[in-house]
Structure 1
């Protein structure tokens, strides 16, 4: 069971690393790389969801998971701040739909 638990944490760590890579790309305004990292994260997150249904983490592992998730959320917040001008430009150029209207 410990091997599965460690493998589960490895998914979190891989997502954290990819998140840091995505932030680095955003800081360099390399939006194509950001998109590729985002796709990789989506695959990792999908696999994490499957694996997490079968494994219970120990208290110490949950603490590590929390640290990792906070790191990912900080990276994500920074990426969003950096991406907002880029997304606005794409929206203005007609490459992205405008914000949806609520009905």
Structure 2
């Protein structure tokens, strides 16, 4: 991977993160999950690439992109954490109900 390819990959991640943020704002959870999978692909390619020396301009560009990615990630987490908590509560209620049904069913048998 060249430095240009690396920066382009970071830009792609940044653009996807912006789209993910919009999906989270609109409550489009399925879209958010699909976008996250695409983002993971880009991150995987960066992780597999050999480290590259970057000139000063490239380093500044990379840093600016990463800052944007991290800001969007924090915003996405702020939007998704309440939803995750809600889903966990629903799962807990469902599991408690299932246990009650099983216990009641076992007593009736």
TM-score interval (norm. to shorter): 0.7 to 0.9
Q: TM-score, normalised by structure 2?
A: 0.79
Q: TM-score, normalised by structure 1?
A: 0.83
User: Over the residues paired in the alignment, what is the CA RMSD in angstroms?
Assistant: 1.5
Q: Distance in 2 between the 1:33 and 1:57 partners?
A: 34
- Aligned ranges 1:59-70 → 2 under 5 Å: 59-70=56-67
Deviations 1:41-82 (A, max 9, x none): 11100001122x152221110100000000001101111111
Equivalent pairs, count: 92
Deviations 1:3-58 (A, max 9, x none): 8110110010000000001001001010111111111111100001122x152221
Aligned to 1:45, the other structure's residue is in SS state: helix
Q: Distance in 1 between the 2:7 and 2:60 partners?
A: 11
Q: Distance in 1 between the 2:3 and 2:23 partners?
A: 30
Give the structure with the higher percent helix. 2
Residue 42 of structure 2: aligned partner: 44
- Aligned ranges 1:71-86 → 2 under 5 Å: 71-86=68-83
Q: Which runs of 5+ in 1 are unaligned?
A: 96-103
Q: Distance in 1 between the 2:57 and 2:15 partners?
A: 20
The counterpart of 1:93, out of the listed 90, 102, 109, is 90
Q: Which runs of 5+ in 2 are unaligned?
A: 93-109
